[in-house]
Structure 1
Amino acid sequence: MTENLQLGALLAACHWIGQKGWSPATGGNMSVRSGEEHCLITESGKDKGSLTAEDFLRVELASGRAPEGRRPSAETGLHTMLYSLDPQIGAVLHTHSVNSTVLSRVERSGTLVLEGYEMQKSLSGQTTHLDRVLIPIFDNSQEIPALADKIMASTEHAPLQYGFLLRGHGLTCWGKDVAEARRHLEGLEFLFQCELQRRLLEAK
């Protein structure tokens, strides 16, 4: 799929995310791969529900450099890390929904385990509710290069699939293209809401 079509799909996804309220107050960042050495990522401080094509910056994967005078999103280093880690990743979505933010704090371990939900099949490769989907949780940090190194190091023990949570921060997820990343986001958000409600009911 051409870059223009993927950027158009990403713009539509961003507007949809804005309508969902999953990136309030200009939070979050979204990107799409642009060739082997670059990605297009949202400029910092832009409302995700009203983005235009001009609000995306071309960033070098190796250095994270953006056009002079413009500032890419704060978590750009996490996007470039993912694209460099896996050449199959074509789009990355980072959101700040209530469900993902709260659940990342409620779950005290380093992994959120999702099992028993039919909607696990919204995630590529999942064919049954009987499997366990593992979503890593990392402590939040304002030091993005160090955080990216920590996440990268974790892949030596277990590969990243679908997404990860930053504690008290939100979800980062991805796919081979924008459509798959968007499906993973919607599926994970549904699963997070189910898991939060299940825990609340069991606590009563």
Structure 2
Amino acid sequence: MTTSQLDQLVAACHWIGAKGWAPATGGNMSVRENGEFCLLSESGKDKGTLTSGDFIRVSIADNSVASGRKPSAETGLHTLIYRLFPEAGAVLHTHTVNSTVLSRVEKGAALKLQGYEMQKTLAGQSSHLDSVSIALFDNDQDIAALAGRIESFAAVNPLRYGFLLRGHGLTCWGRDVNEARRHLEGLEFLFQCELQLRLLEAK
């Protein structure tokens, strides 16, 4: 990881904060440092004002923090993503209204998106005719148990771009900060479209 990647993550956090996508110190963001460690946002910090000093080195293998500082409560989800996807270079977790509401409205195991041109903001997507599936997991305060369920799902099902936690929000990733940020913005646009479409269809 280069210093610029951490700088880009700090800039992305400020952008997320300005959009109101991580209110009341919610959310957490990280970047892969190397094969052994990631740098994860410290717990209880306003994402709109983070500095590079607000990120903590965490062991990807076992979530340990040599500094003794307190990383985000969802540390285990970030390290899981880095273990499952060696190509993942950054992870963004937000608490937006669209993702939170859709995660409760959708009763299935995944949110299916199809017919939107903006699906092409997601890596590997080339047509609005394709179907994009965003996995949905029930929220759990036991992060180790939640990570275990997600890992079991990923062992037999494709898990790309990100996943939703019911009543909680979106966790997404990319090869680097810029791709993770593009995935976040693209998915949020798609979530807003899908939510508006369902509201109109319900009338």
* TM-score category (smaller protein): over 0.9
Q: With structure 1 as the length reference, what TM-score do the two structures score?
A: 0.98
What TM-score do you get using the length of structure 2 for normalisation? 0.99
Letter in 1 for 2:197: R
**1:63 corresponds to which residue?**
62
Matches of 1:63 and 1:54, distance apart in 2: 22
**Does the 8 A contact of 1:164 with 1:171 survive in 2?**
yes
Does structure 2 retain, via aligned residues, the 8 Å contact 1:120–1:126? yes
Q: Which residue of structure 2 aligns with residue 139 of structure 1?
A: 138
| Within-5 A mapping of 1:66-77 | 66-77=65-76
Number of aligned residues: 203
Question: SS of the residue aligned with 1:193?
Answer: helix
Deviations 1:133-171 (A, max 9, x none): 000000000000110010000012212100000000000
The SS at the match of 2:187 is helix
User: 1:13–1:182: 8 Å Cα contact kept in structure 2?
Assistant: yes
1:60-99 residue CA offsets vs partner (Å, 9 max, x unmatched):
0111012444100000000000001111000000000000
Written as runs of structure 1 = structure 2, the 5 A alignment for 1:15-34 is 15-34=14-33
Query: Does residue 95 of the first structure (1) align with residue 94 of the second (2)?
Result: yes
Partner-residue secondary structure (3-state), 1:156: helix
1:179 equivalent to 2:182? Answer no
- SS of the residue corresponding to residue 31 of structure 1 reads strand
Give, in whole Å, the separation in 1 of the partners of 2:138 and 2:79: 19
Alpha-carbon separation, structure 1, partners of 2:130 and 2:61 = 36
Mapped contact 1:57–1:67 kept (Cα < 8 A): no
Q: Which runs of 5+ in 1 are unaligned?
A: none
Aligned-pair CA distance for 1:115:
0.1
Identity %: 68
Give the deviation of 1:107 after TM superposition: 0.3
Supply the AA of the counterpart residue of 1:38. F
Matched position secondary structure for 2:129: coil
CA-atom RMSD, angstroms?
Answer: 0.7
Hey, what's the Cα distance between the residues in 2 that align with 1:77 and 1:155? 15
Is 1:119 aligned to 2:118, yes or no?
yes
Larger mean CA deviation between 120-129 and 65-74 belongs to: 65-74
Distance 1:74 1:127 in 2: 36
**In 1, Cα distance between equivalents of 2:65 and 2:2:** 18
Distance across 2 between alignment mates of 1:86 and 1:202: 37
| Cα distance in 2 for residues equivalent to 1:191 and 1:77 | 27
SS in 1 for 2:155: coil
Deviates more, 1:68-77 or 1:188-197: 68-77
Return the offset for 1:187.
0.1
